[in-house]
Amino acid sequence: MHSAIRWAERGLVPDSLIRLGIRRLLAERLAREQAQDLGKFIAELQASPVALHTAEANDQHYEVPPEFF
């Protein structure tokens, strides 16, 4: 799988094959999501924080010196 991604990133895979792969991955994801209990999913979202790892995100965002801007 990693080789296929590297080939695609280098432009060695035709767009039609990339689109086919994306469609397959999306279909798998949709099937997994539809198999999940919607009520449980909503409860998990309501119980989770809005943002995760905010300190790390801030560190990364502000690591650029003001001179850069």
Q: Each residue of 1-53: pLDDT tens digit?
A: 778 889 989 999 999 999 999 999 999 999 988 888 888 888 988 999 988 88
pLDDT of residue 15: 94
Read off the pTM. 0.49
User: Cα separation of 61 and 63, whole Å?
Assistant: 6
Per the structure, the complete domain to which residue 58 belongs is given by 2-68
pLDDT higher than 80, residue 64? no
Q: How many helices (H) and strands (E) does the chain have?
A: 4, 0
> pLDDT band at residue 63, thresholds of 50, 70 and 90?
confident
For residue 22, report the phi and psi dihedrals to the nearest 5 degrees: -65, -45
Give the tens place of pLDDT for each residue, 41-62.
889 889 999 888 888 888 877 8
Q: How many domains would you assign to the chain? A: 1
